Chain A
Amino acid sequence: MKKVMMGNHAVSWGVKLARAEVIAAYPITPQTQIVEELSEMCADGRLEARFVKVESEHSAMAACIGASAAGVRAFTATSSQGLALMHELLHWAGAGRHPIVMADINRALGPGWNIWTDQNDTLSQRDTGWIQLYCENNQEVLDTTIQSFRLAEVVDLPVMIVLDAFYLSHTSEAVDIPEQAAVDAFLPRREARVRLDPDAPCAFNGLEPPAVYMDMRRRQQEAFDQARKVFDAVDLEWGERFGRRWGAAEGYCLTGAETVLVTSGTITSTARHVVNVRRARGEAVGLLKMKMFRPFPTDLLREALAGVKDVAVLDRNFSPGHGGIFAEEIRSALYDLPVGRRPRLHGFVVGLGGRDVTPATIEDCLERTRVAAADGQAPAREDIWVGVTP
């Protein structure tokens, strides 16, 4: 069945089809429609889940942690300040190995108040132990939501599904909704390996002295290594069952490309258009869409970008005192390539706080890349901020 829906509602439908059992959430723009729709679904019986209407995002994550530790499938959604408030418990969910799924609508952090899209909220949670998946369109949002529960529960890690505020959260697109029975076959009811069970009592998260703590963290790293592979297996199976695959990263017009744009989120769709225009003019421009940010798909990046002359990374985020976060991570991932195969990397900070990233913005980035490349000099270590008043 196809239905026209907003990105937010694509999340709600994904959660419904995944048969989440406990939902705990607190309102925040622009996420609120996700949980409004889920409230309706719970109220009218379309979804048999317990909805805990908590007094803060901090308690939302805490309730999801409790529910997940008790062995059920738990979901929440948030954005920006709400995600920042959860920070302490994101670590608790991550290292506690609770396979919670959360949607975050990328929204700029204050001050000043800004409700528009910006990736700094999720990227500043990079090290909390969550898998992070950035989506480009509403079909991908729905599919990724369902896939994420499967991935989370195989590797016992929490998953964050990330959508751009308004450009995706509030944009309506046609979405193919899979049959419930088909989703049930893909994603059976959760059977937790360990849970809070009076018939088999155990203590979770007791004091871990130095002799133990580091080994626990190593297990977490191994789970992320495993997650990189499990994601591909889950995506492959999804493709076999439902005819769509999204990939941890997606190359577009990479064949023969000398300059490659790297994007995430909805900027990708605009970049596709720019690449089409350039290719039509016979220019060797390609695109790499980054969906997975944690675990970082270093293997795919090296494979896709080795031998490319110039890579232009568009970051709708920045790490104050350093630069665009994707650019820095990609630069690091490509460092080990042999010198002759290592691309020059050009970092661009664009679209912060919801500023439009239009085809002209991307053309501007490509032109700056061309000029820098023609120079023959190593690209500037400092990222270029596009569209900022000097």
Chain B
Amino acid sequence: MSQVMIRDLIPREELLEPGHLACPGCGAPIAMRLMLKALGPRTIVVLPACCWSIIAGPWPQSSLKVPLYHTAFETGASVASGIRAALDARGDRDTTVMAWAGDGGTFDIGLQALSGAAERNEDFIYCCYDNEAYMNTGVQRSSATPWGAWTTTTPASHPQSRPKKDMLAIMAAHRIPYAATASVAYPDDLLAKAKRAKEARGTRFLHILSPCPPGWKTSDEESIALARMAVQSRVFPLVEVENGERWRFTVDHPGEPVAPYLKKQGRFRHLTDAQIAGVQASVDQRWEALKRRVELGV
């Protein structure tokens, strides 16, 4: 798809103001900007503690042109449930409620509330922008941190020793109407998924990989390239799943080698060639499993 066509696909209306407080090269404001373009101005954003608590700006400022509720770390899904209930009580069916949380607020501390809301099929969109660690507090490992990564709590001598939690599968297991992965490097795919999410009712979950230059130890200008490499190397496949049953790939995944993706990032610098080969084997194995799931449609 040519660049001109992609630009034509993206709504012109800006609901994210310039002057937000994200670091240079951060994927998180790109993800928010695209999501709000798809969802439109009748959206209420719920923001549990995460980098975006800062990005949105201090009182009395806001970098969003939509209502925003800053809330406690583990309450993205539960506060969103309450707002939805209130809108329903007053007959407002047009406004979309979107919880917007990082990987810590989703994979770790917010998982109970999210699972509860998904089981009840609460009618809101939950977006996790995943930068693969607690970046706002200074790069501590989360259960979204990939195997082998350095963080300040997993030093290079003892890096992250467990694989990244499979959040999409967890959400799909709740049989929610719509769940998908997305990437800031694929804006057309992200927008299409945001629109599908907006049109559905019930709990909708989007998991967006969001590069973090200070946490990944990468150059500011490489974020989009890295996000693209994560997809092309099948480290972060782009899929969607309806009702926990119909799994589908939404872009091509050529299966580029993993090594260049890892070698661009300082957080993986300590990995030996043998360890990188191990990551490749693990990615291949998970890809085969995902492919079977897509083929079987379960």
Interface size on B, residues (CB 8 A): 48
A198 interface residue (CB < 8 Å to B)? yes
Residues of chain A within 8 A of B116, CB atoms compared:
54-56, 59
B86 interface residue (CB < 8 Å to A)? yes
Q: Which of chain A's residues has its CB closest to B116's CB?
A: A55
Q: Which of B85-121 contact A (CB under 8 A)?
A: 85-90, 95, 112-113, 115-117, 119-120
A205 interface residue (CB < 8 Å to B)? yes
Most buried by A among B43, B59, B84: B59
Give Cα A345 to B56, complex, Å: 53
Q: Which of A145-202 contact B (CB under 8 A)?
A: 196-198, 201-202
Among listed B74-82, B158-166, B274-282, interface-contacting one: B74-82
Judge whether B82 and A209 touch: CB under 8 Å: no
Partner of B82, one of A53, A63, A201: A63
Q: Which of A54-84 contact B (CB under 8 A)?
A: 54-56, 58-59, 62-72, 74
Residues of chain B within 8 A of A56, CB atoms compared:
112-113, 116
Most buried by B among A50, A54, A203, A206: A203
B53 interface residue (CB < 8 Å to A)? yes
Among listed B61-69, B214-222, B240-248, B283-291, interface-contacting one: B61-69
A299 interface residue (CB < 8 Å to B)? no
Q: Which of chain A's residues has its CB closest to B46's CB?
A: A66
Q: A66-B46, A207-B58 are in contact. Are A55 and B69 (CB under 8 A)?
A: no
Would you give the shortest CB distance from B5 to chain A, in whole angstroms?
30
Residues of chain A within 8 A of B56, CB atoms compared:
203, 206
Would you give the shortest CB distance from A15 to chain B, in whole angstroms?
14
Give Cα A205 to B87, complex, Å: 20
Judge whether A66 and B78 touch: CB under 8 Å: yes
Give Cα A62 to B42, complex, Å: 22
Judge whether A50 and B85 touch: CB under 8 Å: yes
Judge whether B83 and A66 touch: CB under 8 Å: yes
B72 interface residue (CB < 8 Å to A)? yes
Judge whether B58 and A206 touch: CB under 8 Å: yes
Would you give the shortest CB distance from B31 to chain A, in whole angstroms?
19
What 1/0 mask marks residues of chain A from 1 to 30 whose CB sits below 8 Å from any chain B CB? 000000000000000000001101000000
Judge whether B78 and A198 touch: CB under 8 Å: no
Give Cα A53 to B74, complex, Å: 17
Residues of chain B within 8 A of A67, CB atoms compared:
82-83, 85-86, 89
Q: A207-B53, A208-B58, A208-B59 are in contact. Are A66 and B89 (CB under 8 A)?
A: no
Judge whether A72 and B72 touch: CB under 8 Å: no
Judge whether B78 and A62 touch: CB under 8 Å: yes
Judge whether A58 and B78 touch: CB under 8 Å: yes
Residues of chain A within 8 A of B72, CB atoms compared:
62, 88-89, 92
Partner of A201, one of B53, B64, B71: B64
What 1/0 mask marks residues of chain A from 251 to 295 whose CB sits below 8 Å from any chain B CB? 000000000000000000000000000000000000000000000
Judge whether A204 and B85 touch: CB under 8 Å: no
Judge whether A72 and B90 touch: CB under 8 Å: yes
A52 interface residue (CB < 8 Å to B)? yes
Give Cα A329 to B83, complex, Å: 38
Q: A50-B85, A62-B79 are in contact. Are A203 and B44 (CB under 8 A)?
A: no
B259 interface residue (CB < 8 Å to A)? no
Q: A196-B83, A206-B56, A206-B58 are in contact. Are A49 and B66 (CB under 8 A)?
A: no
B54 interface residue (CB < 8 Å to A)? yes
Give Cα A87 to B116, complex, Å: 20
Q: Which of B44-58 contact A (CB under 8 A)?
A: 44, 46, 53-54, 56-58
Residues of chain B within 8 A of A21, CB atoms compared:
86, 89-90
Judge whether A204 and B70 touch: CB under 8 Å: yes
Partner of B113, one of A50, A59, A198, A201: A59
Residues of chain A within 8 A of B113, CB atoms compared:
55-56, 58-59, 62
Q: A62-B71, A62-B72 are in contact. Are A70 and B83 (CB under 8 A)?
A: yes
Give Cα A196 to B95, complex, Å: 11
Give Cα A101 to B209, complex, Å: 40
Judge whether B75 and A22 touch: CB under 8 Å: no
A212 interface residue (CB < 8 Å to B)? yes
Q: Which of chain B's residues has its CB closest to A89's CB?
A: B72
Would you give the shortest CB distance from A61 to chain B, in whole angstroms?
8
Give Cα A24 to B113, complex, Å: 13
Would you give the shortest CB distance from A26 to chain B, in whole angstroms?
10
Q: Which of chain A's residues has its CB closest to B59's CB?
A: A206
Judge whether B67 and A196 touch: CB under 8 Å: yes
Partner of B79, one of A53, A66, A202, A206: A66
Would you give the shortest CB distance from A284 to chain B, in whole angstroms?
52
Q: Which of chain B's residues has its CB closest to A64's CB?
A: B82
Judge whether A72 and B78 touch: CB under 8 Å: no
Judge whether B112 and A52 touch: CB under 8 Å: no
Q: A55-B112, A207-B58 are in contact. Are A66 and B82 (CB under 8 A)?
A: yes
Of the A-B pairs whose beta carbons lie under 8 Å apart in the complex, a sample of 19, sorted by A's number, is: A21-B86, A48-B89, A52-B85, A56-B113, A63-B79, A66-B85, A70-B86, A70-B87, A72-B90, A74-B82, A92-B71, A198-B66, A201-B64, A202-B68, A203-B56, A203-B57, A205-B70, A206-B56, A208-B59
User: B interface vs A, CB < 8 Å?
Assistant: 41-44, 46, 53-54, 56-62, 64-72, 74-75, 77-90, 95, 112-113, 115-117, 119-120, 122
17 more A-B residue pairs beyond the given contacts A63-B81, A196-B67, with a C-beta to C-beta distance below 8 A: A22-B89, A49-B89, A52-B81, A63-B78, A63-B82, A65-B75, A66-B46, A66-B79, A68-B82, A69-B79, A70-B44, A196-B83, A202-B68, A205-B70, A206-B61, A206-B62, A208-B58
